[in-house]
Chains A and B, each alone.
Chain A
């Protein structure tokens, strides 16, 4: 009964494992089974594993490269409008972003095949991801307006945002080619719940001295806002059927896509290891519940113009309405239902690690008692130090993070990894990961940007991950 309950929970349960987009603590932390999800070519030695629900909660990553909540909302007695002007309008650029990601592991298992060199893994996870860049010129128009700014072009391209929610179904194969090289590949099917994106806007709004009248106002717009699933979500909110709708769309009732992860581990020697992975090389085709909005055109106006004698031809002409109609015709705000494709934010990870110290004991060598079986455990050194590179494709180009890490193993029951990461969010990001192994039970807790915990409100980046797995190094 307990086994079947465990099995059911494992299959359909709510093992909550949250990941940041950059999972520098989890990457190459091969004691943790989820590390195979960010490097399908990781060198793993389990016979099988299964994610287990144990610790409920929400795991997430959120970052703001411009300001923190504390910068704006600290109870410091300063005029809020002054803070908005100094820290947002004057303090941020269009490369600053507000972004967030979460992943919720619904089901995750892995097992070694008959060929002991091949390890299969599969699962389902739920993911939400959104990013919005600081829309500087829109904010300036909204706070200051266009007065006394002749010839200043307000860039409509400052609107750059995207977001999505989906379920991901994945199946991976990890093969140990020889003692030096391990390769991995993971196929993914994306079931998009909703998507919105407006990332390729162009155009400007400018006020210049007019040729006839005092000012000429020009709107040059090439803007697109694409959505899928949003209308159905809105209807579900009205009908009180949000849960059902998300479930249905997340299980192949929305829009579908495919993708692939690739990864490798290469040992130059027992002590020097190179790894790399390319994740979410994929796309989603949106054809279900699509609605897009466009604003395209180029118009210049100097207000209502009445030039005699031409204006005398029709004395009842409504010049104002004609002007409005002309502008709406030249720069129409329209909607359409055309299908579209989005590319997933592809991630690149790489690391080089040097190990030293006493190798940990193989499980088969331990004092395990009369029921001990053979094991696949690979030799691991007590210490590891190295560097990692992370890149992700974002609407304003790739974002990069560099990490230095140190890993320490305490026998087979505990491993600790600490990281120092530099990226656009922080230059003082120190993270700590703890992995505990109690028999077959594996518990891990990874927390990022620990210095920020002195005042969480003042952090521009935070993430944490936790999870519980059952791992076996014995036979199937």
Chain B
């Protein structure tokens, strides 16, 4: 007779092994490493919570301290490789296999360790894709998560930075996995219940808040006039003609410039209420002036942002907030919203090739994907119409009868032809291909595929790839906005001129934009202090951003 409840028995055994270290559900911080040795088993699939924002940092450090003689060959299935301890577990032999999504701050070290064979890589995913696999073939046996506070029953308050926690707990706890939470404090009653206590088996009082990276704070002082010009092109050449109301922005300075131009340049163009009303977006401080000027109707967030909590709590009509008044973020839902309910994604990248493929991988750095490939792709399962989606679909496919024609999500790459340290944005061949060869990967890590990209914006103009009818046109449209890079200088001038006549390429002057008007005085805020002032003091910038 088959035992149909082996997983439940296994969890019960883990709980029994951990119980000697706990009073009720609460484990002392000093016992954390031996506790983990007791509840983990070699070869376990473990989700250590952490993404590009929040980190279960205390649990990460403790996991890196367990005895590799006892716990080894773990299979880590986690959103982010961000903290040094996330890679220490591989160096020490505690973990062996890895499936993940984002590795920004550890991009160089993870590349070295992958080349060195210290990590057996499953795949690099998008967030949403990894979350999906938690429910199919990468379900964690143990989840190590982070919350703001807990009560003694294990009810968790995850606060403004809820992010991935509900998804991780759902996949783990309902498939008989063990959930261990680090919390900043134990309280009698949590401000709101984000995770019910019956899904949480142990709680560790870390005595301090979990770490959060202020990744979405862009200092307006660092925005250049070239970036302002690209932002003007995007607003007047894309947002206005397509009527983009529902959108997502990447985290670069070009998109920060767009946010800061809405109340000035956008207002002068009479676009308030016509564009940028509904967002899937983290609480970008650079959007404060537009919110204050009445541009924004609502925003759903992947996570929160350091220093923005009081501002958000004071603007509940704009943000999603809980019964305690603070932000409720949820990465899985927001990624889904960005994929299906937004008509435009715009972001920056490091390399674009002649097919329009783009990548942030260079041969020495593997930053992972995060959410960009999901935001920056056309959802084939979308069925609801909207004006921008139908218009883009008609541009791409004028011959199919309208009732049978798919719409298109606008996926825009924006940047300067020469990026940081004068490195050209446009390349003949992506470094991602060299990386795939070196690591023998079946897929090159492409951030946004060329067939998903609809527009490329540089200071030289906008290339509308929807209007290109063959690969030659596409190549010349890209060369035609590539400026003085090698790619740009090898353009076919006659063909580029014809593309411009057809509106495939539009220069600033074609849109009535004088590049000399691209001035920093157009920014609604020119410094972090301006942002704090425009929030009436509700935005409290972290210390590293305060030059006063």
The reply to whether chain A is a binding partner of chain B is no
A-binding residues in B (CB < 8 A): none
B-binding residues in A (CB < 8 A): none
